Structure 1
Amino acid sequence: MGVLVVQHARDEGPYVLGEALAAAGLRMRLCRVWAGDPVPENLSGTEALVVMGGPQSAHSDDGFPSRRAELALLRRALDAEVPVLGVCLGAQLLAVAAGGAARPGTGLQVGWGEVRLSPEAARDPLFAGTRERLRVLHWHGDTMDIPDGAVPLASCERYPVQAFRTGGAAWGLQFHLEVDETAVDAFATAFPHEAAAAPGLRRAAPGELAALAPHRDRVLARFAALVAERSERTAARAFFAPRADAWEARFAADGPRYAEAVARMDLRHGQTVLDLGCGSGRALPALRAQVGDDGTVLGMDVTTAMLKAAVREGRERQAGLLVADCSQLPLPEGAVDGIFSAGLLDHLPDPAAAVREWARVTGPGGILLLFHPSGRAERAARHGRPLSPDDPLGEPNLWPVLEAGGWRLDCYEDADEHFLARAVRI
């Protein structure tokens, strides 16, 4: 796992942003398109996507051979809700990827200048608490139109779009918040003709940066913390989002086996049942049939794209669908009578903490059914690996975790054609 940083010019690196990511325990993976590095086709192993500035134009392929690949990667990040930070050129590319536009501006804007934060910035996860007026480093000649639904965060008179948020966790900054004195010197050395438009740029840098630093460091640290906190969810979303459209067709034959597994829960009409990691909702019709029209069925998944697939299958008629972290459930204690979960527990970072949380929301005597339409050995062989003795779904590992979490394992089946474990809330 790592933060993918797309760098367009040798001297336009992450600077202070890189320090913030490292302080949060995050590793950077540099894609130096200026040196010929190919832009990845997918977001596998990516905790966040950062797209830096550069001399290219976001509105044209001329002199910008990686533009289309970067836009495609940004769109994948937006679809999968992978955190994104775009800086200068990166912000313009983000605007285009999200449905807005980039275009030539009215002239070069280089040097230290003021931006005004919008009222929405006071509620933004990164900018909340930042003073209304900031002096920042400008270095651009192009501008952008933000997409519908995007939240404007900062502006100035000459170029009104200076910062915005779009989607679940994507930010674009037209100005360079990532800079320190080394960065300012590198910019001025790399682009001397542009730097000449801002006399005293280097001389003013120490004082300007001293005033900016507390706000710069807080915003960048918040982005890094958000990336770190969402890392596991991001991995799941990055994996499942591009597969969501084909998921139902690919596994359509598993429907009867899901129904057979649900029948083992022995639910009654009027009860409340939760499908954790519900995906496209293959178990939801059977769960609804068990609890009847007067019961409650909830399907939760961390990947919005999978829930949209469930809606396309009409499963919102059988259950309420929620985007939620399956290890931190938005439910009160004892709210459900049963939990169904297929292929989830062994992919969570802390299975023991998860089953404790699931016990918290389940009333005494409630049922937990863990299921997969193939056995552990068959899955291991399919993925070309041996069956690990440390597998959390192995019976010697699973029952003590369940018992410590408030469950009693009363059925365990691990055959070629399915895996099933049934536990009762103590």
Structure 2
Amino acid sequence: MPMKTVAIIRHVHFEDLGTFAEPLARAGYEVKYYDIGAHALPARDPAATDLLIVLGAPIGVYEEDEYPFLREEIDLLTARLGAGRPMLGICLGAQLIARVLGAKVYPSGVKEIGWGPVDLTEAASTTPLRHLANTSVLHWHGDIFDLPRGAEHLASTAICRNQAFCVGSNILAVQFHPEADPTAGIEPWLIGHAAELASAGIDPRDLRDGAKAINPSLPARARKMFAEWLEGLRS
């Protein structure tokens, strides 16, 4: 029986699958990273891969002129969404899904960077996101999006009303970073985003100390959440 395939669009090397790598392996997926700037994007044919995951980046969906590859990603996502093929978007990936679904993506005027909880909606109580209730996750963004028409609202914070949404069982978008593992250390994030932290007046020592204070059950909860979502996918 052939392995299932998952294509991972990675924009910066340290923002990878994190805790989500293990559930994919257990579920029998063959993982292939597509690093922007180093590899061409996956084939636009929705049938070419079983699952697409689009990871984060410190750029905006609306910056197509500065970063033309965003247009290619939007075309790829549009094809997959039109075919109802499974897809997960994290951070920028979530914003791209929202954009393709017709929602507005724009700067919030404030950076949400640090460890903190998300407020789950009543609808989320019956979804895999329920495993992240009453725990803190990593937030790292300055853009927000409106809830796409027809999407189910799953999570929010005081700064960002639309932290997560789904469309059926195959499409999940999360603005926060459930894949980030505080027990593995976040030094690559602090180095890679040093300029952003400085401009926002955020001390990297606070983020480092915050990671040490996070409930050690977070990685297991995140893996359980993602594994359950994978089990519910429809080809």
Relative to the length of structure 1, the TM-score reads: 0.50
- Aligned equivalent of 1:48, options 48, 51, 61: 51
Who is 2:174 aligned against? 173
Counterparts of residues 136-175 of structure 1 (less than 5 Å): 136-175=137-176
Residue segments in structure 2 that go unaligned for 5+ positions in a row:
none
Residue segments in structure 1 that go unaligned for 5+ positions in a row:
235-426
Contact 1:81 1:167 in 2 (8 A): no
- Aligned equivalent of 2:110, options 101, 104, 107: 107
Who is 2:193 aligned against? 191
Q: Deviations over 1:86-139 (max 9, x none)?
A: 000000000011121211111211111221000010122x224552x4311011
Contact 1:10 1:34 in 2 (8 A): no
Displacement of 1:39 after TM fit? 4.4
Displacement of 1:42 after TM fit? 1.8
Displacement of 1:224 after TM fit? 2.9
The residue type paired with residue 190 of structure 2 is A
Q: Relative to 1, partners in 2 of residues 1:36 and 1:24: Cα closer, same or farther, differing over 3 Å?
A: closer
The residue type paired with residue 152 of structure 1 is H
Contact 2:7 2:31 in 1 (8 A): yes
Query: What number of residue pairs does the alignment pair up?
Result: 227
Who is 1:263 aligned against? none
- Aligned equivalent of 2:206, options 183, 190, 200: 200
Displacement of 1:180 after TM fit? 1.5
Looking at structure 2, the residues matched to 70 and 36 of structure 1 have their Cα atoms a distance apart, in angstroms, of 13
The residue type paired with residue 223 of structure 2 is D
Match of 2:125, SS state, is: helix
**1 or 2 for the larger relative contact order (CA 8 Å, sep ≥6)?**
2
Quote the sequence identity (%).
31
- Aligned equivalent of 2:87, options 61, 84, 100: 84
- Aligned equivalent of 1:221, options 218, 227, 234: 227
Q: Relative to 1, partners in 2 of residues 1:49 and 1:38: Cα closer, same or farther, differing over 3 Å?
A: closer
Who is 1:134 aligned against? 135
Query: What is the root-mean-square deviation of aligned Cα atoms in Å?
Result: 1.9
Q: Deviations over 1:384-411 (max 9, x none)?
A: xxxxxxxxxxxxxxxxxxxxxxxxxxxx
- Aligned equivalent of 1:28, options 26, 31, 37: 31
Contact 1:116 1:134 in 2 (8 A): no
Q: Deviations over 1:21-52 (max 9, x none)?
A: 01211111211114243342222331111000
Q: Deviations over 1:229-280 (max 9, x none)?
A: x4xxx2xxxxxxxxxxxxxxxxxxxxxxxxxxxxxxxxxxxxxxxxxxxxxx
Does residue 94 (structure 1) correspond to residue 97 (structure 2)? The answer is: yes
Contact 1:127 1:219 in 2 (8 A): yes
Larger radius of gyration: 1
Counterparts of residues 4-403 of structure 1 (less than 5 Å): 4-124=7-127, 126-128=128-130, 130-131=132-133, 133-181=134-182, 182=184, 184-195=186-197, 197-198=202-203, 199-208=205-214, 210-227=216-233, 230=234, 234=235
Contact 1:56 1:63 in 2 (8 A): no
The residue type paired with residue 36 of structure 2 is V
Looking at structure 2, the residues matched to 214 and 17 of structure 1 have their Cα atoms a distance apart, in angstroms, of 10
Displacement of 1:3 after TM fit? 0.6
Contact 1:98 1:166 in 2 (8 A): no
The residue type paired with residue 188 of structure 2 is A
Q: Relative to 1, partners in 2 of residues 1:5 and 1:92: Cα closer, same or farther, differing over 3 Å?
A: same
Match of 2:46, SS state, is: coil
Contact 2:152 2:166 in 1 (8 A): yes
Match of 1:108, SS state, is: strand
